[in-house]
């Protein structure tokens, strides 16, 4: 059974996010593929597809996994409307991060026909509550032009220093 998130609005019109569970893997992978295609162009099927499904299968079956996926079901009952993926890791504690845990958000995607309805916001809010329940005090993400305003509205700001990446 999927985990219900504390603080969900209870009104009939409220968007309900839930923690993804076993059986959601294909839809989460599909939404992640849509996000990737929108940002980087279509990549199609490849070796990444099978590994994505394998990892999702492992993570979604483990309630104690350090990676979680939150989703909003499509209102028409045909799959998922939106998803967000988050993970956290232990680092050494510091004055600015006394728990030493750091979270990262990625894979935020909404099916195009369900965009601009608050679905990504609901999934992001659920993920941030999940981080909070685990003592994660720092959460990072890389914002696309599509999601930047949402993340700012949720309290994200620019980090100090340059974000750099090394690819092998």
74-83, 141-150, 156-165: segment of lowest average pLDDT: 156-165
Sign of the CA dihedral running 95, 99, 100, 103 = negative
Look up the CATH superfamily of 18-153.
Answer: Gcn5-related N-acetyltransferase (GNAT) (3.40.630.30)
Alpha-carbon separation of residue 71 from 92, 101, 125, 138, 166 (angstroms): 31, 23, 11, 22, 30
Burial class (CB in 10 A: 0-12, 13-18, 19+), 9: exposed
pLDDT tens figures, 14-25: 899 999 999 999
pLDDT(5) > 80: no
pLDDT tens figures, 25-80: 999 999 998 887 676 777 666 677 899 999 999 999 999 999 999 999 999 999 99
Alpha-carbon separation of residue 39 from 30, 36, 59 (angstroms): 14, 5, 25
- Assign 168 a pLDDT band (cuts: 50, 70, 90): confident
- Assign 143 a pLDDT band (cuts: 50, 70, 90): confident
Q: Which residues pair with 109 in a beta bridge?
A: 83
pLDDT(4) > 70: no
Model's pTM, two decimal places? 0.86
**pLDDT for 9:** 44
Alpha-carbon separation of residue 83 from 91, 93, 115, 143 (angstroms): 26, 30, 12, 15
Two tokens at 17?
């996010």
Angle between helices 25-40 and 47-61 (to 10 degrees): 130
pLDDT(115) > 80: yes
**pLDDT for 24:** 98
Alpha-carbon separation of residue 118 from 4, 13, 124, 128, 161 (angstroms): 18, 11, 10, 15, 31
């Amino acid at each position: 059974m999927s985990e219900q998130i504390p603080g969900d609005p209870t009104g009939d019109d409220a968007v309900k996010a839930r923690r993804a569970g076993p059986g959601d893997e294909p839809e989460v992978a599909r939404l992640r593929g849509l996000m990737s295609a929108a940002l980087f162009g279509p990549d199609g099927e490849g070796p990444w597809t099978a590994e994505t499904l394998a990892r999702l299968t492992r993570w979604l079956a483990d309630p104690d996994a350090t990676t979680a996926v939150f989703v909003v079901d499509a209102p028409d009952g045909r799959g998922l409307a939106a998803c967000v993926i988050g993970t956290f890791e232990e680092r050494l504690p510091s004055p600015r991060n006394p728990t030493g845990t750091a979270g990262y958000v990625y894979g935020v995607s909404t099916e195009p026909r369900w965009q601009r309805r608050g679905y990504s916001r609901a999934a992001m809010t659920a993920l941030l509550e999940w981080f909070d329940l685990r003592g994660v005090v720092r959460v990072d993400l890389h914002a696309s032009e599509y999601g930047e305003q949402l993340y700012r509205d949720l309290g994200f700001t620019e980090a100090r220093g340059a974000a750099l990446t090394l690819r092998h």
